[in-house]
């Protein structure tokens, strides 16, 4: 029984990057032997175990055989006779098919180190076409490793997979898992462009494929460069998705609500989390209104539609997303103005207003909500005439 460090841990160490997760492959062992040594089984489709001390994943070396379309159509063989080279041969890219023995020796049967030096994303073998998830993985690797080019032969395989209908078998949850990783990478536009070039974007997200233009991609990368794409912040993903989906929303004239059906369709296709969907829809619905003059009552109505008084952090996320859109490039002061409006409305002491109503109109609690709204409208009106609004409020 021998174990080898594999995959991203080896790749990132060779690139001089921090290693976050370490995965191991075990050669020459059976499930019974792993259990006898104290490993905990966790694999559903094939034998994977957690180390008794480090809790790092250890998978038995395996081969796989395609039996049906899609990413689940495989039969796995994980026995003690499977070699390390056989296990590495089933991996997606050569840079992910390098193993390291416990003494530090590198096993690199597919020249992954050469491709690391050449900054090349290249598939390991023709078996690449058997798993459509690999299209998504390559796309997100392109977004993360911005200096790496896609090998022409790998690009050709990806196009043939799309033409064969392989991506149509992907379930939304799996698409979102990979897509969200690429969206929060260093240059998410590379993922979008790669998926569009091979045809996968049109199959998976047709509304994005039709509407996503150069300006949207530039806005997406700008947000990533400003820190939204570091992946370290829980707010990063909703903001980035909101930016991506705005291109499909047509402008809404005269203060009307914009049609966000395309945003909602994309979120359904991805099965995006509720917080991501809600921010993207809200941003599309309200963005044009935020560039129009608004009375104090209209301003409060917008804040209430956005639930900005109960969820100020989400409203701040919307302002962050809007700040990267082209129509707001010269209107940053307008966003600062809305932030002031939200803060002033939130600062109204609803409890104090309620106490006054109860004192002046005992037995009439129905007056409280209206009184609180009036207090907020008055506070917004006072702020709008003060220094916070100077050169900030939208003008005709």
Share of the chain above pLDDT 90, in %: 73
Q: What is the structure's pLDDT at 81?
A: 86
Q: What is the structure's pLDDT at 315?
A: 97
pLDDT in tens, 286-304: 999 998 889 999 999 999 9
pLDDT in tens, 124-140: 999 899 899 999 999 99
Distance CA 311, CA 344 (A): 14
Q: What is the structure's pLDDT at 384?
A: 72
79: how many CB neighbours lie within 10 A of its CB? 14
Q: What b/e sequence results for 307-334 when a residue is b if at least 16 CB atoms lie within 10 Å of its CB, and e otherwise? A: ebbeebebbebbbbbbbbbeebeebeeb
Contact 123, 93 (CB under 8 A): yes
Q: What b/e sequence results for 234-257 when a residue is b if at least 16 CB atoms lie within 10 Å of its CB, and e otherwise? A: ebbbbbbbbbbbbbbbeebeeeee
Token pair for residue 350?
């609803």
Q: Give the residue with greater pLDDT, 63 vs 259.
A: 259
Q: Which residues pair with 58 in a beta bridge?
A: 24, 49
Residue range 328-348: mean pLDDT, rounded: 92
pLDDT in tens, 190-203: 999 999 999 999 99
Q: Phi first, then psi: give them for residue 32, nearest 5 degrees.
A: -65, -40
Q: What is the structure's pLDDT at 62?
A: 86
Q: Could you tell me where the beta strands, DSSP code E, fall in the chain? A: 2-6, 23-27, 40-41, 48-50, 57-60, 63-66, 74-77, 99-101, 106-107, 120-121, 149-150
From 59, 121, 130, 119, select the one nearest 90 (Cα to Cα): 130
Q: What is the structure's pLDDT at 231?
A: 45
Instruction: Write the CB contacts of 388 (distance below 8 Å, at least 6 apart in sequence).
Output: 337, 340, 344
pLDDT in tens, 4-58: 999 999 999 999 999 988 999 999 998 889 899 999 998 776 789 999 999 999 9
Half-sphere exposure of 394 (CA within 13 A, CB side): 19
Q: What is the structure's pLDDT at 66?
A: 57
Contact 70, 132 (CB under 8 A): yes
Distance CA 243, CA 218 (A): 10
340 pLDDT more than 50: yes
Residue range 270-281: mean pLDDT, rounded: 96
Q: What is the structure's pLDDT at 69?
A: 59
Q: What is the structure's pLDDT at 234?
A: 43
396 pLDDT more than 50: no
Q: What is the structure's pLDDT at 78?
A: 76
Cα distances (angstroms) measured from residue 65 to each of 56, 92, 131, 159, 295: 26, 15, 11, 22, 65
pLDDT in tens, 110-119: 999 999 999 9
pLDDT in tens, 213-239: 999 999 999 999 886 444 444 458 999
Share of the chain above pLDDT 70, in %: 91
- Determine if the pTM surpasses 0.75: yes
DSSP class per residue in 280-325: HHHHHHHTTGGGS---HHHHHHHHHHTTTTT-HHHHHHHHHHHTTS
Chain-wide mean pLDDT for the chain? Answer: 90
**How does DSSP classify residue 226?**
I
298: how many CB neighbours lie within 10 A of its CB? 15
pLDDT in tens, 236-255: 899 999 999 999 999 887 77
Distance CA 75, CA 67 (A): 7
User: What is the torsional sign of CA 311, 217, 224, 119?
Assistant: positive
388 pLDDT more than 70: no
Contact 336, 392 (CB under 8 A): yes
Residue range 345-371: mean pLDDT, rounded: 91
Contact 209, 216 (CB under 8 A): no
pLDDT in tens, 90-107: 999 999 999 999 999 999
Confidence band of 395 (pLDDT split at 50, 70, 90): very low
For residue 65, the SS3 value is strand
The number of angstroms, rounded, from the C-alpha of 280 to the middle of its chain's C-alpha atoms is 12
Q: What is the structure's pLDDT at 229?
A: 46
Confidence band of 63 (pLDDT split at 50, 70, 90): confident
């Amino acid at each position: 029984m021998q174990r080898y460090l594999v995959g991203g841990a080896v790749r990132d160490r060779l690139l001089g990057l921090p290693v976050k997760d370490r995965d191991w492959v075990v050669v020459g062992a059976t499930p019974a032997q792993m259990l006898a040594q104290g490993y905990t089984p966790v694999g559903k489709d094939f034998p994977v175990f957690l180390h008794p001390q480090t809790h790092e994943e250890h998978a038995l070396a395996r081969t796989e055989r395609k039996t049906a379309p899609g990413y689940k159509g495989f039969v796995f063989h994980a026995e003690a006779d499977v070699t390390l080279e056989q296990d590495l041969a089933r991996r997606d890219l050569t840079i992910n098919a390098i193993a390291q023995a416990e003494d530090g020796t590198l096993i690199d049967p597919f020249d992954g180190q050469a491709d690391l030096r050449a900054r090349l994303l290249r598939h390991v073998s023709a078996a690449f076409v058997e798993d459509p998830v690999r299209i998504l993985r390559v796309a997100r690797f392109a977004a993360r490793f911005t200096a790496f080019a896609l090998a022409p032969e790998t690009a050709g395989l990806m196009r043939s997979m799309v033409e064969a209908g392989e991506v149509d078998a992907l379930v939304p949850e799996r698409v979102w898992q990979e897509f969200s990783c690429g969206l929060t990478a260093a240059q998410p536009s590379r993922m979008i462009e790669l998926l569009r070039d091979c045809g996968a974007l049109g199959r998976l997200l047709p509304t994005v494929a039709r509407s996503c233009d150069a300006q949207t991609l530039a806005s997406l990368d700008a947000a990533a460069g400003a820190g939204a794409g570091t992946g370290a912040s829980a707010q990063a993903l909703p903001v980035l998705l909101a930016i991506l989906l705005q291109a499909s929303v047509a402008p809404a004239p005269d203060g009307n609500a914009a049609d966000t059906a395309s945003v909602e369709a994309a979120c359904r296709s991805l099965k995006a989390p509720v917080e991501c969907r809600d921010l993207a829809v809200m941003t599309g619905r309200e963005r044009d209104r935020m560039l129009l003059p608004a009375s104090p009552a209209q301003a409060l109505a917008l804040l209430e539609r956005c639930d900005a008084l109960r969820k100020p952090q989400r409203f701040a996320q919307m302002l962050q997303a809007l700040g990267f859109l082209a129509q707001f490039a010269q209107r940053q002061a307008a966003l600062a103005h809305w932030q002031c409006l939200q803060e002033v409305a939130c600062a109204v002491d609803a409890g104090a207003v309620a106490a006054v109503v109860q004192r002046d109109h005992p037995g009439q609690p129905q007056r409280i909500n209206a009184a609180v709204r009036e207090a907020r409208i008055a506070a917004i009106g006072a702020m709008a005439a003060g220094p916070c609004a100077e050169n900030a409020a939208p003008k005709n």
